[in-house]
């Protein structure tokens, strides 16, 4: 299996463009720049970055051993400029340690489920393919989608579908699942889809696949995606050196909300409005690089349908961490 045949990186050129100044800054300082690809996947973004910058090193994080193996094969020609790290992407500290660095010049987070996982029918991520209801990204741990469906109450399932899937029929689907599992365990994606379709009112049958939001909610819960992202965002900001850049690609509103909230907080002053000077502890740590969230253009959406829901946000670290150096107060800008 060739990793390059399985994955088309989303918003690749824009990602390279946003990270390039941070790489150039490190090169101008006379050192080899380091970018952390927190969501290595099939290695498409990392391959493009390494090819574009001959002095660059990339530490690639992925919890999936298959992704680490396939990306490693794809990136073998770059030698030790690629450093694989098998863990969840909140462990940016482990990536820095593996690369022998104190700070990163760039961090990329391409969130959500990877092409490798979506296209592997045995993983059970896709509602359009019959497979065991597993959905574990790293194939470790005891919690699978099937165990959640077997063990959670109808109230717990409804809350899960509502919060993580924004599913309007959450209560109805939860009751149908509990009733169906009393007859036989729900262990395959095809059976779950049949249950959801049977529980969908006829008037709503043509308004999208009933499995889309339920499968998303189950995947997020199995892999603790939002909890990990909540830890990752501040860890990523802390890991950047001054001038370092963070680029995040989110594919659903819950992820994008976490990213937006964290970046806005880190790019805003916390000083009281009547303070004559802005003390270092109140100054923002980041400068936003894009206005709001950028979308893939029409050409890319046509070429790569998986880019359709993407929301790109990016920021640059403008102040050092408190333990890096002491920064003098700066005059506060007047409104």
> Contact, 251 vs 177, CB < 8 A?
no
Determine which helix (DSSP H) or strand (DSSP E) holds 243, and give its type and residue range.
strand 240-250
Under the banding of pLDDT at 50, 70 and 90, the label for residue 331 is very low
Mean pLDDT of 5-30: 91
State the DSSP H helix or E strand holding residue 299, giving kind and residue range, or none if neither.
helix 298-303
- Give, to the nearest 10 degrees, the angle between helix 44-52 and helix 12-28: 40
pLDDT band at 334 (very low <50, low <70, confident <90, very high): very low
DSSP state of 132: B
Residue 274: predicted pLDDT: 62
pLDDT in tens, 100-125: 999 999 999 999 775 555 555 555 55
Q: Give burial (CB, 10 Å; 0-12/13-18/19+) of 94.
A: middle
Residue 306 pLDDT: 87
Q: Tell whether residue 43 is among the known ligand binding residues.
A: yes
Selection from 100, 105, 101, 103 nearest residue 18 by Cα: 105
Strand, helix or coil for residue 53 = coil
**Residue 62 labelled as part of a binding site:** yes
pTM of the predicted model as reported, rounded to 2 decimal places: 0.86
Q: Does CATH number 3.30.43.10 belong to domain 3-110+225-266+285-318?
A: no
Domain with CATH 1.10.150.170 in the chain: 120-223
The pLDDT of residue 210 is 85
> Residue 62: exposed, middle, or buried by beta-carbon count in 10 A (0-12, 13-18, 19+)?
buried
Q: Annotation-wise, does 45 bind a ligand?
A: yes
CA-to-CA distance for 253 and 54, rounded, in angstroms? 36
Q: Which CATH superfamily is domain 120-223 in?
A: Putative methyltransferase TM0872, insert domain (1.10.150.170)
112 is annotated as contributing to ligand binding: no
According to DSSP, the β-strands at 330-331 and 277-278 are: antiparallel
Sequence ranges of the chain with CATH classification 3.40.50.150: 3-110+225-266+285-318
| DSSP 8-state class, residue 309 | T
């Amino acid at each position: 299996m060739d990793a390059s045949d399985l994955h088309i990186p989303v918003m690749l050129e824009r990602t390279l463009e946003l990270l390039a100044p941070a790489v150039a800054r490190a090169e101008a300082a006379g050192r080899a720049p380091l970018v952390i690809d927190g969501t290595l996947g099939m290695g498409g973004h990392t391959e493009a970055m390494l090819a574009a910058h001959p002095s660059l090193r990339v530490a690639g994080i992925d919890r999936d051993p298959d992704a680490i193996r396939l990306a490693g094969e794809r990136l073998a020609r770059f030698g030790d400029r690629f450093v694989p790290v098998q863990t969840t992407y909140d462990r940016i500290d482990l990536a820095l340690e593996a690369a022998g660095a104190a700070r990163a010049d760039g961090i990329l987070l391409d969130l959500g489920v990877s092409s490798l996982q979506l296209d592997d029918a045995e993983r059970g991520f896709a509602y359009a393919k019959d497979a065991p209801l597993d959905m574990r990204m790293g194939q470790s741990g005891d919690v699978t989608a099937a165990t959640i469906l077997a063990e959670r109450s109808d109230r717990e399932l409804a809350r899960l579908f509502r919060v993580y899937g924004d599913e309007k029929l959450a209560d109805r689907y939860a009751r149908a699942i509990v009733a169906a599992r009393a007859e036989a365990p729900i262990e395959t994606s095809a059976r779950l889809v049949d249950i959801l379709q049977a529980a969908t009112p006829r008037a709503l049958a043509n308004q999208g696949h009933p499995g889309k939001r339920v499968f998303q909610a189950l995947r997020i819960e199995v892999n603790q995606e939002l909890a990990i992202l909540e830890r990752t965002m501040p860890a990523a900001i802390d890991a950047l050196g001054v001038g370092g850049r963070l680029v995040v690609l989110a594919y659903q509103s819950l992820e994008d909300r976490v990213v937006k909230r964290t970046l806005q907080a880190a790019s805003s002053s916390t000083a009281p409005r009547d303070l004559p000077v802005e003390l270092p502890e109140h100054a923002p740590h980041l400068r936003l690089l894009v206005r709001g969230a950028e979308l893939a253009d029409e050409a890319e959406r046509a070429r790569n349908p998986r880019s359709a829901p993407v929301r790109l946000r990016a920021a640059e670290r403008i102040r050092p961490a408190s333990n890096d150096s002491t920064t003098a107060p700066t005059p506060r800008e007047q409104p």
